[in-house]
Amino acid sequence: MDSFGRDFSRGELASTLNHLLSYSKFLDSENDIAIIMEDDAHFIVDEFIFVIDHLIKIIDIRKSQVYLLTQVIQSWDSSGYIITREAAKKMINANSKSWFIADDWVRYKRHANVDVFSVFPPIIKQNLDIFESNLMDSRNKAIKTKSLKYVLSRIGYKIISDFKKYYWLLPFKGYVRNKNV
């Protein structure tokens, strides 16, 4: 059972374990950064090299940073990204039990304290014309079968969030946007 309150699909589990293995192999190397790309990544070589050359100059290898090279939808996509050694260490530690999927960047930011950046416009796209992806189909099926525990925890979270908003945050001026503050 993952953090979404449902079981991983086989594809999601395989992808997550492959990414964690990539981080381990990267940490065994002498490199300061790694470019992680999936097999269905599509890019224009000249643009890719140009952007990577510029990114390498601004990446702080002492910090845990991830630079997404793809368009991110709902914080999911791992077709291509750059990762530092510090980020790889933290991401392995945070997800050692594989309780969230490889491309859940919000959870990595929250639980591994990794800074996540995105290149815009994206320089890598998934090539779904040549490579069929089963992840989205299995992910969509799994989303429909969320557990009761998940549904109840989300309702509880919503109640607590609303309570904090109305009784703790609203009394402070400036919280509500565009209200005669």
The residue extents of the domains of the chain are 10-136, 147-181
Across the range 108-125, mean pLDDT stands at 82
Give the pLDDT confidence score for residue 34 in this predicted structure. Answer: 93
Spell out where the chain has E strands: 33-37, 41-42, 65-68, 80-84, 115-118, 125-126
* Residue (of 135, 106, 142) closest to 40 by Cα position: 135
Give the pLDDT confidence score for residue 85 in this predicted structure. Answer: 94
State the chain's mean pLDDT as an integer: 76
pLDDT of residue 62 exceeding 80, the answer is yes
The residue among 80 and 2 whose pLDDT is bigger is: 80
Q: What's the pTM value of the predicted model, to 2 decimals?
A: 0.66
The residue among 108 and 61 whose pLDDT is bigger is: 61
Kindly indicate whether the domain formed by 10-136 is annotated with CATH number 3.90.550.50: yes
Q: How confident is the model at residue 179 (pLDDT cuts 50, 70, 90)?
A: very low
Give the pLDDT confidence score for residue 106 in this predicted structure. Answer: 79
